[in-house]
Structure 1
Amino acid sequence: MFELVFATNNKHKLEEVQAIIGDRFHIKSLSDIGCSDDIPETGVTFEENAQQKTDYLVKRYGLDCFGDDSGLEVTSLGGEPGVYSARYSGTRDMERNIDLLLERLGDTPDRKARFRTVISLYLNGQQYFFEGTIEGHILDARRGDGGFGYDPIFVPDGYDRTFAEMSLEEKNKISHRAVAVEKLAAFLNTL
């Protein structure tokens, strides 16, 4: 069985990725390899942050790995919160991040947004990138208690429910991360 380290200790991300990849690959988390470091994310793009994670693991552990960076981009806010999605309010408190986003949107009629994920894969000395997006819009109040992050206020195009109102299986069929991970898995299956 093929093993890869996923540069995360976020159990929600790990569950989503493992559910998509299934038993085709054994995915290890940072804690599985004894890494409790707070890996820097100082890039100004999703690509830079994803690559920082893989570079960090390769330099310190020498393992084949992948890392991702994801975020919400709201059109009328010029792409905010973007790479700062997890700490938009200056903290990692998602309730405060959502409150700030809703405050900044106010009664703006243009509520178009997209979730975007970029995966950086380091494998056999080579770097690869995979991207996934899903278009949708932002509600003016939270709905649902599943998911994580901005899921309670994001409704994907073609649906009338937020990500937080969907089951993990439903979300995994359409999410930005699912699209990027499917591209990663398809690539890995060619090896």
Structure 2
Amino acid sequence: MNKLVLATRNAGKIVELRRILAETGVPVELVGLDAFPHIGDVAETGLTFAENALLKAHAVASESGLPAIADDSGLCVDALNGMPGIFSARWSGAHGDDKANLDLLLAQVSDVPEGRRQAHFACTAALALPSGEEHIVEGAMHGFLIREARGTNGFGYDPIFVPDGESRTTAEMPAAEKDAISHRGRAFRALAPVIAQVLA
């Protein structure tokens, strides 16, 4: 069976992609970066989701000698000209401080009226081979921002994001429901046939 590396140490992402690949019948053994302790974190110096995803995928493919997948994602708010975008995880300055990031964003859009609070989560997933071959796909989930956090199932900006057609935030939805419509789920599902073709 072909082995594939997902460029993350996030167990949740690995489980999600394994489930999607199994659903689409792609016979592949997926491992995360924990299987390669010598591979360090790759600096996300790109100016777009695609650039960052490709940076990580190529670095891991080169270091591991195996095909590698990486993704980059974030929240893009219409009233903030698409920001925080690639800076979503470090919007407040400290990387990964979900509460500080969320509080800052809520403050920045506090004067934005109802009906003008549209936003979308964007994800670009990249597949890179040790040969240098690359493939990218994108996924998005559109919705709007509410004024106070609701729900505990999600992370990041999930507690203030309501997808189109929903009344719940993504933090109020069960994981399987969120996976079915999420930006990352859509990107990974779009990548599955590419993986099947490349590894055939």
The TM-score range, normalised by the shorter chain, is: over 0.9
CA deviation after TM superposition for structure 1 residue 26, in Å: 2.1
Distance in 1 (CA, whole Å) between partners of 2:41 and 2:86 is: 16
Identify the residue that residue 140 of structure 1 maps to in structure 2: 147
Identify the range of structure 1 (53-62 vs 76-85) with the bigger mean alpha-carbon deviation.
53-62
Identify the residue that residue 45 of structure 2 maps to in structure 1: 42
CA deviation after TM superposition for structure 1 residue 76, in Å: 0.3
Identify the residue that residue 118 of structure 1 maps to in structure 2: 124
What TM-score, normalized by structure 2, do the two folds share? 0.90
Distance in 1 (CA, whole Å) between partners of 2:38 and 2:146 is: 37
Identify the residue that residue 6 of structure 1 maps to in structure 2: 6
Identify the residue that residue 76 of structure 2 maps to in structure 1: 73
Whether the 8 Å CA contact 2:120–2:141 is kept in 1: the answer is yes
In structure 1, the gaps of 5 or more residues are: none
Identify the residue that residue 158 of structure 1 maps to in structure 2: 165
Identify the range of structure 1 (23-32 vs 91-100) with the bigger mean alpha-carbon deviation.
23-32
Identify the residue that residue 182 of structure 2 maps to in structure 1: 175
Amino acid at match of 1:97: N
Identify the residue that residue 83 of structure 1 maps to in structure 2: 86
Distance in 1 (CA, whole Å) between partners of 2:11 and 2:99 is: 18
CA shift digits 1:68-106 (9 cap, x unpaired): 000000000011100001111011201100001001001
- What percentage of residue pairs aligned between the two structures are identical? 42
What TM-score, normalized by structure 1, do the two folds share? 0.94
In the alignment of these two chains, the number of paired residues is 191
Amino acid at match of 1:28: V
Structure 1: 4+ residue segments shifted above 6 A: none
CA deviation after TM superposition for structure 1 residue 39, in Å: 1.4
